[in-house]
Chains A and B, each alone.
Chain A
Amino acid sequence: MNKRNFSQGLNFIIIKISVFVVVAFLFFIIFHIFRNGISSISIDFLTKPPTDSMTRGGIFPAIVGTFCLSIGALIVAVPMGIISAIYLSEYTKGGLFLRILRLGIRNLAGIPSIVFGLFGLALFVIKFGFGSSLLSGSLTLGFLILPTIIAATEEALRGIPQDFREASLALGATKVQTIFKVVLPAALSNIVTGILLSVGRVAGETAPIMFTAAAFYKPALPTSVFDEVMALPYHIYTLATEGTHFEQTLPIQYGTCLVLLALVVLMDIAGIWIRLKARKSKKW
């Protein structure tokens, strides 16, 4: 074997090992959580609140809380994100201002989530006086995923051929009509995919809701947006760190992990499925 072939072969081996390590790690995590968590899963676990100082019972309030927080974050982020993306993709013409704007949005995506949490605490919880509540948590999470939604929507809008815009304008439609009746509907499936992927992220975040929304123990379901809620990731965090019986709650922790993981994976699968379906029906 000559030297070049040898180095090529070596490279391939390194690449293969890297990929294997990554995939193995992923499977190990999923397998580990599944094996330890599956025994806790039961109808009661999914539909009952925790009891006996959190050492028994279910996680129903946390599931509802995470669900409400995700929906709340979407209500905050989706309209604002889509409108921002429309502005960036359809109304701006390049230049320094746009570059600064883009840079800002990209940097927003890189800010650690704990910073968002503290920001939410300072602004929504204290300054606006919303307290630790569903509202504060939704706003904080909403801002966290805003850059993702803007980026996904902008990319989807840019993927729509100019032909459609021209055809619409040539028929005497206004620019706004063109955007809302042709461009946006055509881009919708890709936008929805982006949104679903960000829901997965929202559902799993702990840091942004720690100070803004999450309650340690609150078996009653929220009745208004000013209520505190339990949430799956925060539930895991508290059981693993603050509980006095964390050995005892281990099965509950694993069970909660499994539920959260299943939720996130389901969202991602839904996103990928919609994207695949949309790709098939598209011919332009």
Chain B
Amino acid sequence: MVKIKTTNYNLFYGLKQALFDINMDIYKNKITAIIGPSGCGKSTLLRSFNRMNDLIDGVKAKGDIFIDDKSIYKDWDVVELRRKVGMVFQKPNPFPKSIFDNVIYGPRTSGIKDKRKLNDIMEKSLKQAALWDEVKDILRQSAMSLSGGQQQRLCIARAFAVKPEIILMDEATSSLDPISTAKIEELILELKKDYTIVVVTHSMQQAARMSDYTALLYLGKLIEYDKTEKIFTSPSNEITKNYVTGRFG
């Protein structure tokens, strides 16, 4: 089942075109990896799904993206869209607030005031992000006192708390040590059954390990998009072949 569908999607930073005619279907309850060399537009594409590119001056998009068959530009309200499509960033970016306040930030801004409800959401989200046991006694402490890996899992918990259906991860493990990375990868695999997950990654091993589908972007174009196994074992495109075998990138 298709969750996200892009149709002839083009994106421009001012006069510079960053994405060229992207057409891809992202499937529900699957992990889709977007790989490609630096500057190929993979983060830009990811940030298109929840319209984060809107924040940058001079960005223009052509074509459309559909989530649940509704256009993100015409049919979705941008605030609703971002509740539905959660995002975890490259650098852990918890707010300078307590762990508790970080997790319930989303639900609170959407108007939930009931303390017990907020507590439930907080506990469930932290458990989902495999962070509960480490922080259950220090919920009132500043999130800034956590380690980088813990901060990133807190950010994941914070994203869950809004009850999204899609989670976008923009090189979410690139600033973490191997143990934290392994923990988060495990977590992502675990979450697949409930969420549609799209990850941007620099690491081809990570894409191969985790994802069901892989897309290769090169110079803003979608070169190949297929089952991960196919991309890494018998790619049909010469560029893909060279990239996954490490001949460039």
Residue positions of A touching B, CB distance < 8 A? 93, 161, 163-174, 177, 181-182, 185-186, 281-284
B93 touches A172 (CB 8 A): no
B window 47-101: CB within 8 A of A:
50, 52, 55, 57, 79-80, 82-83, 86-87, 89, 91, 93-97
Residues of A within 8 A of B158 (CB): 167, 171
Measured in the bound complex, the distance between the Cα atoms of B105 and A170 in whole Å is: 11
Contact A283 B82 (CB under 8 A): no
Contacting pair A171 B106 (CB below 8 A): yes
> Does B96 contact A163, Cβ atoms closer than 8 Å?
no
With contact pairs A170-B87, A172-B82, A172-B83 given, residues A186 and B52 touching in the complex (Cβ less than 8 Å):
no
Partner of A170, one of B57, B82, B110: B82
- Subset of 19 A-B contacts with CB under 8 Å: A93-B57, A161-B93, A163-B93, A164-B93, A164-B95, A167-B93, A167-B94, A167-B155, A167-B158, A171-B86, A171-B106, A172-B79, A172-B109, A173-B105, A181-B109, A182-B95, A182-B105, A186-B96, A281-B142
CB contact between A171 and one of B96, B97, B142, B162 (< 8 Å): that residue: B162
Q: Are A170 and B96 in contact (CB under 8 A)?
A: no
Whether B126 is near chain A, meaning CB under 8 Å from some CB there, is: no
Residues of A within 8 A of B79 (CB): 172-174
Q: B110's contact among A172, A181, A282, A283, by CB below 8 Å, is which? A: A172
The reply to whether B55 and A169 form a contact with Cβ atoms under 8 Å apart is: yes
Complex Cα distance, B105 from A283, in Å, reads: 20
The answer to whether B106 and A173 touch across the interface, beta carbons within 8 angstroms, is: yes
Asked if B159 is at the interface (CB within 8 A of a chain A CB), the reply is yes
Query: Restricting to B179-196, which residues have a CB under 8 Å from any CB of A?
Result: none
Say whether, besides A171-B82, A172-B80, A166 and B52 are in contact (CB < 8 Å): yes
Please tell me if B144 contacts chain A, counting CB pairs below 8 Å: yes
Q: Which residues of A contact B55 (CB under 8 A)?
A: 165-166, 169
- Report the separation of the CA atoms of residues A93 and B110 in the bound assembly, to the nearest whole angstrom: 28
Contacts of B110 in A (CB 8 A): 172
Structural contact, B144 and A284, CB atoms closer than 8 A: yes
Bound together, the chains give a CA A171 to CA B162 distance in angstroms of 7
Closest beta carbon of chain A to B99's beta carbon, Å:
15
Chain A contacts for B83, CB-based, 8 A: 171-172
Q: A170-B82, A172-B83 are in contact. Are A177 and B96 (CB under 8 A)?
A: no
Contact A181 B93 (CB under 8 A): no
Q: How far is the CA of A93 from the CA of B58 in the complex (A)?
A: 11
A283 proximity list for chain B (CB < 8 A)? 144
Q: B142 to chain A: which residues have CB within 8 Å? A: 281
User: Which A residues lie within 8 Å of B155 (CB)?
Assistant: 167
CA distance A283 to B146 in the complex (A): 11
A181–B86 Cα distance when bound, in Å, is: 19
Chain B residues whose CB sits within 8 angstroms of the CB of A172 once the complex forms: 79-80, 82-83, 106, 109-110, 162
- How near does chain B come to A256, taking the closest CB pair, in angstroms? 43
Which residues of chain B have C-beta atoms less than 8 A from A93's C-beta? 57
Nearest-neighbour CB distance to chain A for B94, whole angstroms, equals 8
Q: How far apart sit A282 and B55, CA to CA, in the bound complex (Å)?
A: 25
Interface positions of B from 120 to 163, Cβ below 8 Å from A: 142, 144, 155, 158-159, 162
B109 x A284 contact (CB < 8 A): no
B170 CB, min distance to chain A CBs, angstroms? 10
List the 7 closest A-B pairs by CB distance, nearest first.
Answer: A172-B83, A163-B93, A171-B106, A170-B87, A173-B109, A172-B82, A167-B93
Which residues on the A side are within 8 Å of B105 (C-beta)? 168, 171, 173, 181-182
Q: Which residues of B have CB within 8 Å of A164? A: 93, 95-96
CA gap between A156 and B93 in the complex, in Å: 19
Q: Most chain-A CB neighbours within 10 Å: which of B52, B79, B94, B155? A: B79
